[in-house]
A and B are shown apart, each in its own frame.
Chain A
Amino acid sequence: EAQVTQNPRYLITVTGKKLTVTCSQNMNHEYMSWYRQDPGLGLRQIYYSMNVEVTDKGDVPEGYKVSRKEKRNFPLILESPSPNQTSLYFCASSLFPSSSYNSPLHFGNGTRLTVT
Protein backbone atom coordinates (compact mmCIF):
# COMPACT_ATOMS: atom_id res chain seq x y z
CA GLU A 1 0.00 0.00 0.00
CA ALA A 2 1.29 3.44 -0.99
CA GLN A 3 1.78 5.48 2.14
CA VAL A 4 3.73 7.98 4.16
CA THR A 5 4.69 6.57 7.55
CA GLN A 6 5.56 8.75 10.51
CA ASN A 7 6.83 7.62 13.87
CA PRO A 8 6.02 8.01 16.62
CA ARG A 9 2.32 8.98 16.55
CA TYR A 10 2.55 10.53 19.99
CA LEU A 11 5.58 11.89 21.83
CA ILE A 12 5.91 13.66 25.17
CA THR A 13 9.33 15.04 26.01
CA VAL A 14 11.04 17.67 28.12
CA THR A 15 12.66 20.92 27.11
CA GLY A 16 16.12 20.50 25.65
CA LYS A 17 16.06 16.75 25.05
CA LYS A 18 16.93 16.07 21.42
CA LEU A 19 14.39 14.10 19.44
CA THR A 20 13.83 12.81 15.93
CA VAL A 21 10.53 12.17 14.17
CA THR A 22 10.97 9.73 11.32
CA CYS A 23 9.19 9.85 7.98
CA SER A 24 9.32 7.27 5.25
CA GLN A 25 7.48 6.97 1.93
CA ASN A 26 7.28 3.94 -0.33
CA MET A 27 6.19 5.69 -3.53
CA ASN A 28 9.61 6.72 -4.87
CA HIS A 29 8.59 10.37 -4.53
CA GLU A 30 11.13 13.08 -5.17
CA TYR A 31 9.50 15.78 -3.07
CA MET A 32 9.06 15.55 0.70
CA SER A 33 8.01 18.15 3.22
CA TRP A 34 7.27 18.73 6.90
CA TYR A 35 4.36 20.80 8.23
CA ARG A 36 3.16 21.74 11.66
CA GLN A 37 -0.50 22.23 12.42
CA ASP A 38 -1.60 24.52 15.23
CA PRO A 39 -5.11 25.65 16.24
CA GLY A 40 -6.08 28.81 14.41
CA LEU A 41 -2.93 28.76 12.28
CA GLY A 42 -3.57 25.90 9.87
CA LEU A 43 -0.68 24.04 8.27
CA ARG A 44 2.69 25.76 8.03
CA GLN A 45 5.67 24.38 6.15
CA ILE A 46 8.82 23.78 8.16
CA TYR A 47 11.27 22.33 5.64
CA TYR A 48 11.07 20.66 2.27
CA SER A 49 13.29 18.57 0.04
CA MET A 50 13.25 18.47 -3.75
CA ASN A 51 15.43 15.35 -3.90
CA VAL A 52 18.22 13.48 -2.14
CA GLU A 53 20.68 15.85 -0.44
CA VAL A 54 18.55 18.87 -1.42
CA THR A 55 16.70 20.54 1.43
CA ASP A 56 15.36 24.06 1.95
CA LYS A 57 13.62 26.13 4.58
CA GLY A 58 9.88 26.59 4.59
CA ASP A 59 7.96 29.28 6.43
CA VAL A 60 8.79 28.26 10.03
CA PRO A 61 12.20 26.50 10.07
CA GLU A 62 13.59 27.90 13.33
CA GLY A 63 14.42 25.19 15.86
CA TYR A 64 14.25 22.34 13.33
CA LYS A 65 16.67 20.39 11.18
CA VAL A 66 16.10 17.84 8.44
CA SER A 67 18.18 15.52 6.31
CA ARG A 68 17.56 13.65 3.05
CA LYS A 69 20.25 11.03 2.70
CA GLU A 70 17.95 8.55 1.02
CA LYS A 71 15.00 9.18 -1.26
CA ARG A 72 12.48 7.43 0.97
CA ASN A 73 13.40 8.98 4.34
CA PHE A 74 13.07 12.55 5.58
CA PRO A 75 13.55 12.77 9.36
CA LEU A 76 12.68 15.89 11.34
CA ILE A 77 15.15 16.70 14.11
CA LEU A 78 14.59 18.95 17.10
CA GLU A 79 18.03 19.50 18.65
CA SER A 80 16.72 21.34 21.72
CA PRO A 81 12.92 21.23 21.85
CA SER A 82 11.02 24.02 23.52
CA PRO A 83 7.37 24.23 24.65
CA ASN A 84 6.46 26.42 21.65
CA GLN A 85 7.23 23.42 19.46
CA THR A 86 4.32 21.53 20.97
CA SER A 87 2.24 20.83 17.90
CA LEU A 88 0.85 18.28 15.46
CA TYR A 89 3.43 17.48 12.78
CA PHE A 90 2.78 16.09 9.32
CA CYS A 91 5.20 14.68 6.83
CA ALA A 92 4.12 14.73 3.18
CA SER A 93 5.48 13.60 -0.15
CA SER A 94 4.65 13.92 -3.83
CA LEU A 95 6.12 12.70 -7.09
CA PHE A 96 7.02 16.24 -8.10
CA PRO A 97 7.07 19.57 -6.23
CA SER A 98 4.10 20.83 -8.22
CA SER A 99 0.90 19.51 -6.69
CA SER A 100 -1.73 18.02 -8.98
CA TYR A 101 -3.96 14.98 -9.47
CA ASN A 102 -0.97 13.23 -11.11
CA SER A 103 1.30 14.31 -8.30
CA PRO A 104 -0.91 14.81 -5.22
CA LEU A 105 0.67 15.60 -1.90
CA HIS A 106 0.32 12.50 0.31
CA PHE A 107 0.28 13.15 4.03
CA GLY A 108 1.26 10.87 6.89
CA ASN A 109 -1.11 10.42 9.83
CA GLY A 110 0.69 12.92 11.99
CA THR A 111 2.86 13.03 15.11
CA ARG A 112 1.50 14.82 18.13
CA LEU A 113 4.42 16.28 20.07
CA THR A 114 4.20 17.73 23.56
CA VAL A 115 7.22 19.51 25.04
CA THR A 116 7.01 20.23 28.76
Chain B
Amino acid sequence: GQQLNQSPQSMFIQEGEDVSMNCTSSSIFNTWLWYKQDPGEGPVLLIALYKAGELTSNGRLTAQFGITRKDSFLNISASIPSDVGIYFCAGQGGGADGLTFGKGTHLIIQP
Protein backbone atom coordinates (compact mmCIF):
# COMPACT_ATOMS: atom_id res chain seq x y z
CA GLY B 1 0.00 0.00 0.00
CA GLN B 2 0.86 3.67 -0.03
CA GLN B 3 3.34 4.94 2.53
CA LEU B 4 3.85 8.29 4.18
CA ASN B 5 7.17 9.42 5.61
CA GLN B 6 6.54 11.69 8.57
CA SER B 7 9.32 13.59 10.31
CA PRO B 8 10.60 14.20 12.79
CA GLN B 9 9.68 11.12 14.80
CA SER B 10 9.84 13.13 18.03
CA MET B 11 10.47 16.70 19.11
CA PHE B 12 11.62 18.05 22.45
CA ILE B 13 10.97 21.78 22.64
CA GLN B 14 10.61 24.58 25.14
CA GLU B 15 7.25 26.16 25.80
CA GLY B 16 6.78 29.14 23.49
CA GLU B 17 8.85 27.73 20.65
CA ASP B 18 7.48 27.20 17.16
CA VAL B 19 7.13 23.64 15.83
CA SER B 20 7.33 22.31 12.32
CA MET B 21 6.70 18.78 11.05
CA ASN B 22 6.12 17.36 7.60
CA CYS B 23 5.01 14.37 5.58
CA THR B 24 6.11 13.16 2.18
CA SER B 25 4.75 10.46 -0.05
CA SER B 26 5.78 8.63 -3.19
CA SER B 27 2.14 8.76 -4.30
CA ILE B 28 -0.17 11.65 -5.08
CA PHE B 29 -2.97 12.39 -2.63
CA ASN B 30 -6.10 14.45 -3.23
CA THR B 31 -6.61 15.24 0.45
CA TRP B 32 -4.13 15.82 3.24
CA LEU B 33 -5.20 15.76 6.86
CA TRP B 34 -3.52 16.44 10.18
CA TYR B 35 -4.67 14.73 13.39
CA LYS B 36 -3.64 15.01 17.03
CA GLN B 37 -3.79 12.17 19.54
CA ASP B 38 -3.82 12.88 23.25
CA PRO B 39 -2.77 10.12 25.67
CA GLY B 40 -5.50 7.50 26.13
CA GLU B 41 -7.67 8.90 23.37
CA GLY B 42 -8.27 8.49 19.68
CA PRO B 43 -6.93 10.94 17.08
CA VAL B 44 -8.86 14.15 16.47
CA LEU B 45 -8.90 16.06 13.18
CA LEU B 46 -7.02 19.37 13.29
CA ILE B 47 -6.83 20.56 9.68
CA ALA B 48 -8.00 19.26 6.30
CA LEU B 49 -6.47 20.35 2.97
CA TYR B 50 -8.06 19.75 -0.45
CA LYS B 51 -6.13 21.70 -3.08
CA ALA B 52 -2.50 21.69 -4.10
CA GLY B 53 -0.83 24.79 -2.70
CA GLU B 54 -3.58 25.39 -0.16
CA LEU B 55 -2.47 27.05 3.08
CA THR B 56 -4.92 26.73 5.97
CA SER B 57 -4.81 27.96 9.56
CA ASN B 58 -6.64 26.82 12.67
CA GLY B 59 -5.66 29.07 15.56
CA ARG B 60 -1.94 28.65 16.15
CA LEU B 61 -1.78 25.80 13.64
CA THR B 62 -0.95 26.27 9.97
CA ALA B 63 -0.78 23.53 7.37
CA GLN B 64 -0.01 23.46 3.67
CA PHE B 65 -0.81 21.05 0.85
CA GLY B 66 2.29 20.73 -1.31
CA ILE B 67 2.20 21.77 -4.96
CA THR B 68 3.27 18.30 -6.10
CA ARG B 69 0.43 16.71 -4.03
CA LYS B 70 3.08 14.51 -2.46
CA ASP B 71 3.80 16.44 0.71
CA SER B 72 2.35 18.55 3.49
CA PHE B 73 3.65 20.38 6.53
CA LEU B 74 2.16 21.45 9.85
CA ASN B 75 3.43 24.39 11.89
CA ILE B 76 2.48 25.22 15.47
CA SER B 77 3.36 28.68 16.68
CA ALA B 78 4.13 29.64 20.28
CA SER B 79 3.70 26.12 21.70
CA ILE B 80 1.86 25.64 25.00
CA PRO B 81 1.78 22.62 27.34
CA SER B 82 -1.54 21.30 25.96
CA ASP B 83 0.09 20.91 22.53
CA VAL B 84 1.83 17.80 23.86
CA GLY B 85 0.73 14.65 22.03
CA ILE B 86 1.22 12.66 18.87
CA TYR B 87 0.55 14.39 15.55
CA PHE B 88 -0.34 12.30 12.52
CA CYS B 89 -0.50 13.28 8.91
CA ALA B 90 -2.89 11.34 6.69
CA GLY B 91 -3.44 11.25 2.97
CA GLN B 92 -6.43 10.16 0.95
CA GLY B 93 -6.44 9.37 -2.77
CA GLY B 94 -9.92 9.05 -4.19
CA GLY B 95 -13.18 9.60 -2.33
CA ALA B 96 -13.63 5.93 -1.52
CA ASP B 97 -10.02 5.32 -0.51
CA GLY B 98 -9.17 4.87 3.14
CA LEU B 99 -6.74 7.18 4.88
CA THR B 100 -3.04 6.36 4.86
CA PHE B 101 -1.45 7.59 8.08
CA GLY B 102 2.10 8.67 8.78
CA LYS B 103 3.88 7.10 11.74
CA GLY B 104 3.39 10.14 13.92
CA THR B 105 5.45 12.90 15.51
CA HIS B 106 5.68 12.85 19.30
CA LEU B 107 5.72 16.41 20.59
CA ILE B 108 7.16 16.85 24.06
CA ILE B 109 7.35 20.25 25.72
CA GLN B 110 10.04 20.70 28.32
CA PRO B 111 9.36 23.02 31.24
Contacts and interface: CB of A to CB of B under 8 A. Distances in A.
Contact of B44 (A48, A59, A107): A107
B25 interface: no
Contact of B98 (A33, A42, A108): A33
Contacts of A50: 96
Contacts of A48: 98
Contacts of B45: 99, 101, 104-105
Interface residues of A, number: 28
Interface stretch (B61-69, B70-78, B100-108): B100-108
B95 A97 contact: yes
Contacts of B50: 100
A110 to B, nearest CB: 6
A45 B99 contact: yes
A59 B43 CA distance: 19
B65 to A, nearest CB: 13
B111 interface: no
A97 B40 CA distance: 25
Interface residues of B, number: 25
B42 interface: yes
Contacts of A90: 42-43
A107 B35 CA distance: 11
Contacts of A110: 40-42
A84 interface: no
B52 to A, nearest CB: 16
Given A98-B92, A99-B33, A41 B42 contact: no
Contacts of B95: 96-98
Nearest to A104: B45
8 contacts: A40-B103, A43-B90, A50-B96, A92-B42, A97-B98, A99-B31, A106-B42, A109-B40
Interface of B: 1, 6, 31, 33, 40-45, 48, 50, 88, 90, 92, 95-104
